[in-house]
Amino acid sequence: MIDREEFEAWKASNITQAVFGMLTAMSAEAKEAWMAASWQTGNVNPELLADLRARSQTAEDITNLTFEEVERHLEPSTS
């Protein structure tokens, strides 16, 4: 198990901040790629949109993790 203090130290570490910066950039790049593809070609590709949205959302989900979310998933399953 981890405690809140360990989690906060992990989020504040230089390595974590660098990875979060990379993920934020990846999210922005996915959004820009969708805009470029749809604007330049005028074609809406649903598969491309789904892929780019998933990439962006995953990156945002990771960078916005809270201690409570991590803690909830570390608890033993009752199923």
Q: What is the pLDDT of residues 12-65, one digit of tens each?
A: 999 999 999 999 999 999 989 888 877 877 777 888 888 988 999 999 999 999
Q: Is the pLDDT of residue 78 over 60?
A: no
**Higher pLDDT, residue 25 or 75:** 25
Query: Across the chain, which distance is largest between two alpha carbons, in Å?
Result: 51
Write the CB contacts of 3 (distance below 8 Å, at least 6 apart in sequence): none
Q: What is the Cα 43 distance to its own chain's centre?
A: 27
pTM for the whole thing? 0.76
Predicted confidence at residue 77, as pLDDT, reads: 61
Domain map of the chain by residue range? 24-64
10-46 as b/e: b if 16+ CB within 10 A: eeeeeeeeeebeebeeebeebeeebeebeeeeeeeee
